[in-house]
């Protein structure tokens, strides 16, 4: 479960999941009248530890539109995946689990501000390349869970922020 995972912040270092949520609330509280986006994206690549593994990085981002943001990331290792389809679905599932954990954790904070925002899940698929045939499937899966799905070129949470740490 994501609540037990260790996240990292470029400015705050190592944090547990609850501290990530507290930091997000603090960031929003600094400028409560600003417009915010809550974004979650996962990227992966093949790692070369002792045996082939797939490295997954999930980024959780709170973006103050027009004025920067904060992000947090965690890394997970899995046995090497079969093909591109398996990797994309696993990335989407990591993002969905993190999104669900975020919503559950937000319920522990009375008067939380994040409940006013729909969570965006950024997936690393686009209209060019081998993932183009998967767009409807992956977007449909995410939207059926009540989240907003973004694909390339609008999926910077996965393709740039999470990618930075894979």
How far CA 99 is from CA of 30, 109, 114, 118, 128, in Å, comes to 23, 16, 12, 10, 27
| DSSP-derived secondary structure for 81-119 | PSSHHHHHHHHHHHHHHHHHHHHHHHTTSTT-SGGGSPE
How far CA 129 is from CA of 53, 124, 125, 135, 152, in Å, comes to 23, 11, 8, 11, 11
Q: What is the pLDDT of residues 101-121, one digit of tens each?
A: 998 888 887 776 566 678 999
Q: Phi and psi dihedrals of 140, rounded to 5?
A: -60, -40
Confidence at 1, pLDDT banded by 50, 70, 90: very low
Q: What is the pLDDT of residues 10-31, one digit of tens each?
A: 999 999 999 999 999 899 889 9
Provide the domain count of the chain.
Answer: 1
Structural domain containing residue 129: 2-165
DSSP E strands in the chain: the ranges are: 6-9, 13-16, 36-48, 52-64, 69-79, 119-122, 148-150
CB 36 within 8 A of CB 118: no
CB 149 within 8 A of CB 118: no
């Amino acid at each position: 479960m994501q609540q037990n995972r260790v996240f990292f912040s470029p400015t705050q270092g190592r944090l547990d999941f609850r501290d990530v949520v507290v930091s997000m609330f603090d960031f929003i509280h600094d400028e409560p009248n600003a417009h915010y986006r809550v974004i979650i994206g996962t990227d992966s690549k093949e790692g070369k530890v002792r045996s082939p593994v797939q490295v997954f990085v999930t980024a959780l981002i709170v973006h103050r539109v027009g004025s920067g943001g904060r992000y947090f990331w965690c890394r997970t290792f899995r046995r090497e995946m079969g093909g591109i389809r398996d990797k994309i679905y696993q990335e989407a599932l990591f993002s969905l689990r993190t999104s669900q954990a975020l919503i559950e954790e937000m319920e522990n904070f009375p008067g939380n501000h994040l409940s006013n925002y729909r969570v965006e899940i950024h997936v690393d698929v686009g209209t060019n390349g081998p993932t183009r045939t998967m767009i409807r499937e992956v977007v449909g899966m995410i939207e059926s869970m009540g989240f907003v799905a973004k694909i390339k070129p609008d999926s910077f949470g996965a393709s740039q922020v999470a990618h930075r740490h894979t």
